Amino acid sequence: MSKYVLLVSERADDFEFVSEVAKSANMQFHRETSPENAVKFAAENLCGAIFVDVSDIEHLRVFEEHVQHHLGLFSDRADPNLIHFMSDDDLRESRNFVLSPLFGNFFQRPLFQVEDFAKSYGRFVAAGSEKSTHELKNFLEGGGVQKVRITNTGQKQEAVEAVRQYLIRAKIRPRIANLIANAVDELLMNALFDAPSDEFGKPMYSATARSQNRELKEKEKVTMSLGFDGVNVGISVTDQFGSIDRARLLNHISESYRKKRYNIRVGQAGAGLGIATIFGLGGSLVYHCEGNSKTEATILYRVFPTFREFKSQFKFFSAKFYS
């Protein structure tokens, strides 16, 4: 039986976008304008994705109340991994979203190329609706995926430069290539230094200088995957710890230092600045964490002829956690 994509919104543009997403994800589409009816629908039908208009924080509160009343906040039917928040605002301007126990996926409504982005998002929804189908190749429209295994922290720079050179050879503008290379740099640093944790969950290298060369033990080895289908670039970095903390991740992703001072703290090498920067400078960011097993962080970009279009592209954030 095909799963449903359920839309909870009164807006016509949401209808247009999400119905296209459902088509691309090969799921049935159903819309409810009332949160109460939507939750009742989710209770009786198998949903592969639930899209909720959270333009107004009150909408979200009402939805949460109905979920709690009819399903329970920790029900499989209201799994945050399947819930997609939609807003007109940037995540950093609406930090309240991330505090919701239902937060799992977020996007700011696309302003242009709506149909194309809906198709891409549909691929992401389809791939992400099951733990087993979450793979970089499934986010892209064809093209191969190359994998590189990092066995020493000193290989990070080579890997970043290799990505940059690959993108430049693929005729991607140097500024875009530099930005993507920088994002890869941040993901690799997180995987090499922040992810490794001991048997008690204590980080082992988070306070270690990032310039230090370290041979990686088997479990510390990191895999980087790179795919390009001619339109979309995707890069995944996978560690074998699955140690990322949900609350910290969501705090970092929604952090903004645009209006407040950034205070450097001793002993906190990254302290989330890298993650905040990746999302702040464009592109989508997807975290897939299987507790104590692996964290796969993926960046996805659509390539445009100009940086201006590139930067204003539709982007989303996803944090999927599995125990």
Partner 1 sequence: MFTVTKQKVSDGLLVELQGSLEEHMNLDEQIGVFDGALTVNCRGITRINSVGVKIWMRYFQTIAQRGHKIKYVECPPAIVEQLNLISNFSCEGEVVSILLPYSCTVCNNDFVAKVGVAELKENNCIVPSAKCEKPDCGAQFDDDPNEYLYFMQD
- In the complex with partner 1, which residue's Cβ is closer, 2 or 268? 268
213 binds partner 1 (CB under 8 A): no
Choose the stretch contacting partner 1; rule: CB under 8 A; options: 8-16, 135-143, 208-216, 231-239. Answer: 208-216
- Contact of 248 with 194, CB cutoff 8 Å: no
Identified binder of partner 1 from the candidate list 75, 290, 312, 322, rule CB under 8 A: 312
311 binds partner 1 (CB under 8 A): yes
186 binds partner 1 (CB under 8 A): yes
DSSP designation for 193: I
- In the complex with partner 1, which residue's Cβ is closer, 81 or 94? 94
Rounded CA-CA distance 81/102 in Å is 8
Angle, CA 298 vertex, CA 297 and CA 301 arms, to 5°: 155
82 binds partner 1 (CB under 8 A): no
- Residue 224, φ and ψ in degrees, nearest 5: -110, 130
Which of helix, strand or coil describes residue 226? Answer: strand
182 binds partner 1 (CB under 8 A): yes
- In the complex with partner 1, which residue's Cβ is closer, 263 or 323? 263
| Interaction pattern, residues 135-174, with partner 1; x per rule: CB under 8 A | ----------------------x---------------xx
DSSP designation for 170: T
Identified binder of partner 1 from the candidate list 12, 211, 215, 247, rule CB under 8 A: 211
Tell me the closest approach of the beta carbon of residue 310 to partner 1, in angstroms.
Answer: 9
110 binds partner 1 (CB under 8 A): no
**DSSP secondary structure string for all residues of 98-161:** GGSTT--EEEEPPSS-HHHHHHHHHHHHHHHTSGGG--HHHHTTS--EEEEEE-BTTHHHHHHH
Rounded CA-CA distance 125/225 in Å is 20
95 binds partner 1 (CB under 8 A): no
**DSSP secondary structure string for all residues of 56-105:** SHHHHHHHHHHHHHHT-TT-GGG-GGGEEEEESS-GGG-GGGGGSTT--E
- In the complex with partner 1, which residue's Cβ is closer, 169 or 259? 259
Place of tokens 């359920």: 6
Tell me the closest approach of the beta carbon of residue 301 to partner 1, in angstroms.
Answer: 15
Footprint on residues 257-286 left by partner 1 (CB under 8 A): 257-262, 264, 269-270, 273-274, 276-277, 280-281
Closest among 48, 89, 103 to 247, alpha carbons compared: 103
- In the complex with partner 1, which residue's Cβ is closer, 189 or 226? 189
112 binds partner 1 (CB under 8 A): no
Residue 134 carries which side chain, given as an amino acid letter?
A: H
- In the complex with partner 1, which residue's Cβ is closer, 132 or 263? 263
Which of helix, strand or coil describes residue 222? Answer: strand
248 binds partner 1 (CB under 8 A): no
**DSSP secondary structure string for all residues of 200-215:** TS-BSSTTS-TT---B
Tell me the closest approach of the beta carbon of residue 211 to partner 1, in angstroms.
Answer: 4
**Binding-site ranges for partner 1 (CB under 8 A):** 157, 173-175, 178-179, 181-182, 185-186, 189, 209-211, 257-262, 264, 269-270, 273-274, 276-277, 280-281, 305-308, 311-312
